[in-house]
Structures are given as structure tokens and as C-alpha cells.
């Protein structure tokens, strides 16, 4: 990429040096020229003052007035013989020329105010503009006027000089000053270049380049990607050519690191970077962080992009030492950069859901399921995430046996829906555009902030999306640090993971194990609403099972729902999990759930949650009354 002028520190420093030298030289030029002119005028004034004193002495030493004027005339002739003097006259009290170097000037009248003032007040005037005729200034000459006192009379000596004399002296110095300035500029720039300018510029450009590159793989980083994506989108708009974006990550990279160590993981990332460099000459690869890579493909339509990425994935199987890649692609003509990125990321998520080691084009995804989201609602979700515009309320969960509040579940919702149908739609759209983890993090932070008023002994139920657990940048120890910073302990927090997720089960279960090792309790949420609940119960050790409200509310009247409820209870009892029924909104349902039996055994539902037992509101507004005892 060709460096821009603003990125060339050497040129910028040289420009600053050049401007500084020119400024100093211009100031010197003005000051020296002005001072020189003043000095020349002062020197000539001193010379002509001496001429006036000489005329005074000659006239005083003469025997009579006529003889005195004769002596003065001789001196005036000598003065006018100087090469730059054009006129020398002596003027009396009445303004008449009484002595002159040129005889034809005798008897002329001089009425310039400076001459008359010099006669009357004995004042000296330096470099006065000379007059040619009445009221007209002669811009080719100037005069020096000095008082002369001799034989009890006041006179004025006027010496007129050619202005070219003064201008020539000043102009010569100015010319030499400009030449010296030009030479100093040239010398300064040459010395700057030789004594470090080149090195400074090289190091600065190197630092700029390193700031835009990933330290491990030497690919462009996120900053470079943002800049080049914007440039590529602008170019596609101008030319109407297609632009494709491919997003990659390494399948099961966490487990690769855990099994073989981080050094092996770094080696895999470096090899992935090599595969991206070996792509088409026009393509540009970037590492955004972790194991996430992107490939910017100017001029590629969907078909050619899929073909190129399929070849890249084939090469990955043979060169990554057993590791594989998943890729998502989006191609468009005159694309929107944000939408291109989000659609490619969504295609990558679909590739991961399909088991990885494959490429998915965003155009292949079922529109009725994944793509039919109006851009107005996508922008609404982006706005909520950008502004962290969420609020948190808390709903109590009661222990049916002890009839006390076991815990409070933190429920986050946007303050402003921006046209969305509800909080559920906001989370669903965030998941579709690949930003569920960001909304999840914002809600989690708000919940922990609001949990400072949690009653002593009460647990906090906190929702965590399975898709968040499956991300490379999620870490159990980081979440534990967030909880501790909020004034809680990990064992005081129950993390709810819903079964309604398309994230890979093995990845979610492995992260759940890490969370349990970090001290958190775990709850499986919405059990019965999907197909993965019993499989997750079989695969992951959980402390709590929350039965979905649809099963709970249908169980009293629907034999099938009741059978599902009993099946969940049997499974939960087998894994020694605490069972919570959701959606309790009426007393008859609560009565039904107080003592359900499984195969004639003791009650199996331990806790309950719903509007009957407490509505969601801030902790400070909670005032739970003891749960009424079960009827006899």
C-alpha cells in the first residue's frame, strides 16, 4: 500500500523545517533591510550635518556677506560633485536661494515647509521626498535639510540625492540576504536528510506499518481490515464490480491449544496465514484476533469465492497437522460493509453448526429462518448494543419446601425497543447477525451492577447464551473476575444456559465444565422446549433444571405434557438436580406442582418462578412475603 503524505514523517519534518527557515529568513530579510536603510540614512545625515558645519565655519571666517556666500557656493559645488547628489543650495529666511552649485538656481524661491521650518526652528530633516514643481512629489529623489547659522542669519542647507543610490545599497544587501537564505535552506534540508531524516522517516513508516499488522502472523490486523474494507466497498460502488468477504476460524481451536499447547496453536495460526497469502493475488488476508481470520476478495462473486475458499479448506486439511477450518462467505455488488461482514459471520456460524470443516455461502441459508430480518430491526439491535441501552429487573425464585426466596433471576431488556417486538426479538436478531455475545456481555454487566442490593443468602441466576460459551474470546476466569468485581462470589451465582441453541453441544459442555471448576453453579434453562435438553442433562453436570413454562402450564390438562414433565423429573432426580418450574401464574397450577410424584416417590419439584410468586422489578422494590403453606 503506497504511503500517504500524512504517513511520511520525514517529509512532514522537512516541511516544518523548511517553513521555519523561511519564516526566520523572511523576518531577517525585513529586519535587516529596514535596519540597513535606517543606518544608511543616518550615515548620510551625519555627512550632511558636517557639510552644514563646514559652510557655517567658512561663512563666519569670511570678511563680508558677499564673500561669505561665495565661500558657501564653493562648498556647495564640491558637495554636488558627489556622484549621488543632484542639487545643493543654501536658502535664507525668506526662502530664496542665496547660494547654489548651479548659478541658474540663484534667486529661486523654495517654499517647502520643511525648508522654512529648518530656517525658523533650526531643525534637521532626513530623507524628505523632494518636490518637482508646486505640490508635486518627485519619487526619483529625496532631500536632506540641515540648519546653518552664520553672520547672525539663519539659513537652510538642502542637499537633494538620487533615490537610486539608497535603493541600490539596500537592494544589494537584500539580494545577498536572499541568496544566503536560499543556501541555508538547501544546506539545512541536506543536513537534515543526511544526519537522521531518512532514518526517522524509515522508522516512523515502519512503526505505522507494524501498528497495522498482527504480531504473530504478520497479516493485517483489525485496524488495517477496517480501512481496507471501507476502501474496497467504495471501489465496488464506483465500478459496480462484486466484492466477497470470507470469514474463517479454526475448528475446536480451544481444545487444540489444551491438548498440544499454545506453541502448537500459534504454529497453526501461522500456517493459516500462509494459506491466506497463497490465495488469489488480488485477495488480502487479515487476522482479527484469536483464531479469527478474514479474506477480502475484490472482484469475486459468490461462485468464484466458494470455489477459491473450498480449495483453501482442502489445503488446510493437509497442511494444518490435523486441524481444519470453517468459513462463511458473503458476496455482493455495491455492498454495505457492515452488512457484508455480518452476513459472512452468520454464514460462518452456520458452518460451525454443520460440524465445521466446510464453507457456507450466506446465500445458501434458509431465508425464512435466518435472513428475513428487516434492516430497520438490524439497525435497532446495533443501536442497543452501541449505546448499551439495557435495564435489568429481578424475579424471585421460591423454594417450595422451605417457602423462602431461594434466588433472584436477572432479566435484562432494552430500555428502548426501536420498533422491535420485544426483548426476545432483540436477542434473536443479535444471534442471527453474529452479535449475540456482545448483547449478552452488556446485559451481564448490567445485571452484575444491579445485583449489589442482593439480599444476604440469596443466589443470583444469570443468563449466559450458549453461543457466548462457544466463542474463543469467552473465558471462565474472566467471568469469575467480573463477578468478584461486583462484590459477589462465583458460588453465589447460578449461570443459566438454555437448551434452545444451535451451538455445538461438545463446545458448550466443555465450557460449562470450566465454569463449574471456576466455582459457578449451573442451571439448564427452558428444558422441554427443544430437543437438546435431555442430551445436555446427560452430557453436562448441572445443579438446577428449569422446566419450560409451556410444559408446566400444559401439564395439569395435557397427558403428553404431563408425561414430558414426569420424564424430566425422573432424569433430574437421577442426576440429583434441583428442579424449578417456570411460568407459575395461578394458584391451581401451584397446587398441582407442590406434590407431583414420580413412580410413587417423594415430591420432585423443588422451586417455582412466575408472576404469581413475584413480578420482575428492581431489587430495591422487592418485598417478598412468605410463601403460603401447602393446603392440608
In a domain, 177, yes or no: no
Q: How large is the average pLDDT for residues 519-548? A: 81
Class of residue 27 by CB neighbours under 10 A (exposed 0-12, middle 13-18, buried 19+): exposed
Grid coordinates belonging to 433: 447477525
Structural domain total, the chain: 3
Average pLDDT score, the chain: 81
Percent of the chain with pLDDT over 90: 22
Q: What are phi and psi of 431, to 5 degrees?
A: -70, -40
For residue 532, being part of any structural domain is answered with no
Phi, psi (deg, nearest 5) at residue 499: -80, -15
Torsion sign over Cα 83, 84, 85, 86? positive
Task: Decide: pTM greater than 0.75.
Answer: no
Predicted local distance difference test score (pLDDT) of residue 626: 65
Q: How many degrees, rounded to 5, is the angle at CA 351 between CA 445 and CA 438? A: 10
* Catalytic residue status for 291: yes
294, 410: one domain: no
Q: Does residue 302 belong to any structural domain of this protein?
A: yes
Residues 283 and 390 reside in one and the same domain: no
β-pair partners for 521: 494
Whether residue 596 has pLDDT greater than 70? no
Examine the pLDDT at 372 and tell me if it is beyond 60: no
34 and 142 share one domain: yes
The C-alpha atoms of residue 391 and residue 443 are separated, in whole angstroms, by: 8
The CATH number given to whatever domain includes residue 87 is: 3.30.450.20
Q: Are residues 354 and 418 in the same domain?
A: no
368 & 385 share domain: no
Domain residues for the domain of 45 are 13-167
pLDDT, tens only, 351-367: 887 767 888 888 877 55
**Closest by alpha carbon to 506, among 469, 460, 453, 451?**
469
Query: The domain that contains 351 carries what CATH number?
Result: 3.30.70.270
* Calpha distance 624→621 (Å, rounded): 10
Q: Which three cell numbers stand for residue 196?
A: 537522521
Sign of torsion over alpha carbons 29, 34, 35, 40: positive
564: in domain? no
Shared domain check, 31 and 60: yes
Chosen domain end from 325, 351, 372: 372
pLDDT-wise least confident of 131-140, 154-163, 204-213, 450-459: 131-140
Catalytic residue (choose from 201, 249, 251, 291):
291
Q: How far is it, in rounded angstroms, from Cα 455 to Cα 404?
A: 12
The residue with greater pLDDT, 471 or 550, is 550
Q: Are 401 and 338 contained in the same domain?
A: no
What is the domain-level CATH number for residue 428? 3.20.20.450
Could you tell me if 102 and 18 lie in one domain? yes
213 within domain boundaries:
no
Amino acid at each position: 500500500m503506497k504511503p500517504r503524505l500524512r504517513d511520511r514523517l520525514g517529509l512532514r519534518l522537512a516541511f516544518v523545517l523548511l517553513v521555519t527557515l523561511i519564516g526566520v529568513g523572511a523576518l531577517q530579510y525585513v529586519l535587516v533591510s529596514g535596519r540597513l536603510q535606517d543606518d544608511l540614512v543616518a550615515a548620510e545625515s551625519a555627512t550632511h550635518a558636517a557639510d552644514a558645519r563646514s559652510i557655517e565655519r567658512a561663512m563666519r571666517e569670511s570678511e563680508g556677506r558677499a564673500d561669505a556666500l561665495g565661500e558657501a557656493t564653493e562648498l556647495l559645488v564640491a558637495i554636488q560633485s558627489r556622484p549621488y547628489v543632484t542639487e545643493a543650495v543654501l536658502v535664507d529666511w525668506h526662502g530664496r536661494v542665496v547660494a547654489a552649485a548651479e548659478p541658474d538656481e540663484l534667486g529661486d524661491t523654495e517654499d517647502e515647509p520643511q525648508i522654512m521650518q529648518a530656517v525658523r526652528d533650526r531643525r534637521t530633516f532626513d530623507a524628505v521626498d523632494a518636490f518637482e514643481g508646486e505640490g508635486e512629489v518627485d519619487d526619483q529623489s529625496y532631500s536632506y535639510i540641515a540648519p546653518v547659522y552664520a553672520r547672525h542669519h539663519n539659513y537652510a542647507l538642502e542637499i537633494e540625492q538620487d533615490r537610486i543610490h539608497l535603493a541600490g545599497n539596500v537592494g544589494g544587501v537584500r539580494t545577498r540576504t536572499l541568496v544566503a537564505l536560499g543556501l541555508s535552506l538547501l544546506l539545512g534540508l541536506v543536513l537534515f536528510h543526511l544526519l537522521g531524516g531518512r532514518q526517522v522517516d524509515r522508522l516512523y513508516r515502519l512503526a505505522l506499518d507494524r501498528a497495522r499488522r498482527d504480531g504473530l502472523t504478520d497479516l493485517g490486523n483489525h485496524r488495517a481490515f477496517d480501512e481496507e474494507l471501507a476502501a474496497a466497498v467504495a471501489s465496488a460502488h464506483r465500478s459496480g464490480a462484486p466484492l466477497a468477504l470470507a470469514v474463517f476460524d479454526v475448528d475446536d481451536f480451544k481444545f487444540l491449544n489444551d491438548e498440544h499447547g499454545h506453541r502448537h496453536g500459534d504454529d497453526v495460526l501461522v500456517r493459516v496465514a500462509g494459506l491466506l497469502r497463497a490465495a488469489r493475488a488480488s485477495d488480502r488476508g487479515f487476522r482479527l484476533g484469536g483464531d479469527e481470520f478474514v479474506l477480502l476478495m475484490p472482484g469475486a462473486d459468490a461462485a468464484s469465492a466458494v470455489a477459491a475458499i473450498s480449495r483453501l479448506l482442502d489445503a488446510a486439511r493437509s497442511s494444518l497437522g490435523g486441524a481444519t477450518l470453517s468459513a462463511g462467505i458473503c458476496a455482493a455488488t455495491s455492498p454495505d460493509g457492515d452488512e457484508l461482514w455480518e452476513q459472512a459471520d452468520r454464514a460462518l456460524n452456520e458452518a460451525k453448526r454443520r460440524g465445521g470443516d466446510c464453507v457456507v455461502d450466506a446465500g445458501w441459508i434458509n431465508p425464512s429462518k435466518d435472513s428475513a430480518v428487516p434492516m430497520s430491526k438490524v439497525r435497532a439491535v446495533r443501536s442497543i448494543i452501541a449505546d448499551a441501552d439495557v435495564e435489568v429487573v429481578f424475579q424471585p425464585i421460591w423454594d417450595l419446601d422451605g417457602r423462602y426466596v431461594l434466588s433472584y433471576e436477572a432479566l435484562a431488556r432494552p430500555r428502548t425497543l426501536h420498533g422491535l417486538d420485544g426483548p426476545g426479538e432483540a436477542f434473536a436478531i443479535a444471534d442471527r447477525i453474529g452479535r449475540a455475545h456482545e448483547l449478552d456481555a452488556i446485559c451481564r454487566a448490567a445485571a452484575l451492577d444491579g445485583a449489589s442490593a442482593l439480599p444476604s443468602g440469596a443466589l443470583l441466576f444469570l443468563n449466559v447464551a450458549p453461543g457466548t460459551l462457544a466463542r474463543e474470546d469467552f473465558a471462565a476466569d474472566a467471568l469469575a473476575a467480573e463477578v468478584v468485581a461486583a462484590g459477589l462470589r462465583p458460588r453465589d451465582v447460578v449461570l443459566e444456559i438454555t437448551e434452545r441453541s444451535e451451538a455445538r453441544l461438545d463446545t458448550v459442555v466443555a465450557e460449562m465444565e470450566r465454569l463449574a471448576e471456576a466455582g459457578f453453579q449451573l442451571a439448564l434453562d427452558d428444558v422441554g422446549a427443544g430437543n437438546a435438553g435431555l442430551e445436555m442433562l446427560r452430557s453436562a453436570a448441572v445443579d438446577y433444571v428449569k422446566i419450560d413454562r409451556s410444559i408446566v402450564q400444559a401439564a395439569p390438562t395435557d397427558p403428553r405434557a404431563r408425561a414430558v414433565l414426569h420424564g424430566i423429573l425422573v432424569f433430574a432426580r437421577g442426576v440429583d438436580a434441583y428442579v424449578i418450574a417456570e411460568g407459575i401464574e395461578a394458584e391451581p397450577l401451584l397446587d398441582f406442582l407442590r406434590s407431583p410424584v414420580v413412580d410413587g416417590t417423594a415430591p420432585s419439584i423443588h422451586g417455582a418462578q412466575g408472576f404469581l410468586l413475584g413480578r420482575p422489578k428492581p431489587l430495591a422494590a422487592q418485598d417478598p412475603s412468605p410463601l403460603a403453606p401447602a393446603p392440608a
